[in-house]
Amino acid sequence: MRRGADRRRCHHPLRSGARSLTAAAVVIAPTPLSLPDCRIPWRHLALDTVTSTNDIALQQAAQGAAEGLVVTARQQSAGRGRHGREWIGDPGRSLLMSLLLRPERIDPHRLPQISLAAALALHDALSAAGANARVKWPNDLLIEGCKVAGILSELRCAPTGGPIVAVGIGLNLKPPVDGWPGHLRRPAAALSRFAGVVQCDAAAWMLRILPCFDRRYAQLTDDAFPAIADDWWRAHGGARPVTVDEECALPWRGTAVGIDDDGALLVRDAEGRTHRIVAAEVDG
């Protein structure tokens, strides 16, 4: 696939540097998880109410926490998604989870691939549970056209200069008590709506997702991104018509034809030109 015009030189799906860490954060001892098929020694920090699980993961990283910390919470007071959008959900009705990574074996220019690997891992777990889900670039999981999960990856630099990444995952298990708000960009749904999908609590979903992520992350560190890209493309549903909505430009229609090594979506316009999309809203 050839690289065409770069429609917008903005942030990759890996978000960088938007929020400061709390200097007074305290290291809290997490509980080791028994996941024998995983390379990473995952440890679980279960909390009740936090600003966001990504905030806590990054604070713990600033205090020296090692790769493999998993932060979950029942409720977020400032949960966020891509472009700073609010993550909506009532306490205890979603899986709210962040994974702390120190991807020193991954070249810096390849760090955006982590978001794609995370989306694919979540797709793997949902598929194994009976869900007919598909990934939507760059960070959403859809069932029957409705968003059931989203991912936000945030990058920081450690004092030693190495990268720190918090991969935030939100998975709707049950709808809000008062229903979904009407202002959402895309219709949302919870897993409880879909017959044939395994229904379990947030802790059980965490244990379903972690081995899937561990396997996909191992592929990244082993330089096997082409396998991830092929599987991601199948989970996306292959080539499909999309609408690209860029800031300060009119929406335009094209066909998604692939992703490149930087995690950008490749979209071919009506004139046959292929554009790298790195930050726009893409529907379809």
Indicate which CATH number applies to the domain containing 109.
3.30.930.10
Indicate if the pLDDT at residue 88 is higher than 80. no
Structure confidence at residue 201 (pLDDT): 94
Indicate if the pLDDT at residue 172 is higher than 90. yes
Structure confidence at residue 29 (pLDDT): 83
Per-residue pLDDT tens digits for 173-194? 999 887 877 776 778 999 999 9
Per-residue pLDDT tens digits for 117-126? 999 999 999 9
Structure confidence at residue 77 (pLDDT): 86
Structure confidence at residue 1 (pLDDT): 36
Question: Within this chain, do residues 79 and 181 fall inside the same structural domain, yes or no?
Answer: yes
Question: Within this chain, do residues 262 and 184 fall inside the same structural domain, yes or no?
Answer: no
Question: Within this chain, do residues 193 and 278 fall inside the same structural domain, yes or no?
Answer: no
User: Which of 30, 40, 163, 169 is closest to 102 using CA atoms?
Assistant: 163
Query: 18 in a domain, yes or no?
Result: no
Question: Within this chain, do residues 137 and 182 fall inside the same structural domain, yes or no?
Answer: yes
Whether the Cβ atoms of residue 206 and residue 170 lie closer than 8 Å to each other: no
Query: Residue with structure tokens 């989870």?
Result: 97
Indicate if the pLDDT at residue 2 is higher than 90. no
Query: 82 in a domain, yes or no?
Result: yes
Query: 161 in a domain, yes or no?
Result: yes
Q: Which element (helix H / strand E) includes 133?
A: strand 133-136
Query: 229 in a domain, yes or no?
Result: yes
Question: Within this chain, do residues 113 and 176 fall inside the same structural domain, yes or no?
Answer: yes
pTM over the 0.85 mark: yes
Structure confidence at residue 27 (pLDDT): 59
Question: Within this chain, do residues 141 and 66 fall inside the same structural domain, yes or no?
Answer: yes
Residue 196's domain comprises 24-236
Average pLDDT, the chain: 87
Query: 13 in a domain, yes or no?
Result: no
Average pLDDT value for residue range 51-72: 95
The type of residue at 56 is: I
Question: Within this chain, do residues 195 and 129 fall inside the same structural domain, yes or no?
Answer: yes
Question: Within this chain, do residues 107 and 247 fall inside the same structural domain, yes or no?
Answer: no
Query: 6 in a domain, yes or no?
Result: no
Indicate if the pLDDT at residue 147 is higher than 70. yes
Query: 8 in a domain, yes or no?
Result: no
Specify the CATH number for the domain of residue 273: 2.30.30.100
User: Which of 273, 257, 249, 253 is closest to 5 using CA atoms?
Assistant: 273
> Parallel, antiparallel, or unpaired: how do β-strands 5-6 and 274-277 relate?
parallel
Tokens representing residue 57 in the block? 């993961």
Question: Within this chain, do residues 102 and 214 fall inside the same structural domain, yes or no?
Answer: yes
3-state helix, strand, coil in the chain (%, to 5): 25, 30, 45
Question: Within this chain, do residues 179 and 255 fall inside the same structural domain, yes or no?
Answer: no
Query: Residue with structure tokens 């996306």?
Result: 236
Number of structural domains in the chain = 2
Structure confidence at residue 277 (pLDDT): 94
Question: Within this chain, do residues 227 and 264 fall inside the same structural domain, yes or no?
Answer: no
Question: Within this chain, do residues 222 and 196 fall inside the same structural domain, yes or no?
Answer: yes
Query: 146 in a domain, yes or no?
Result: yes
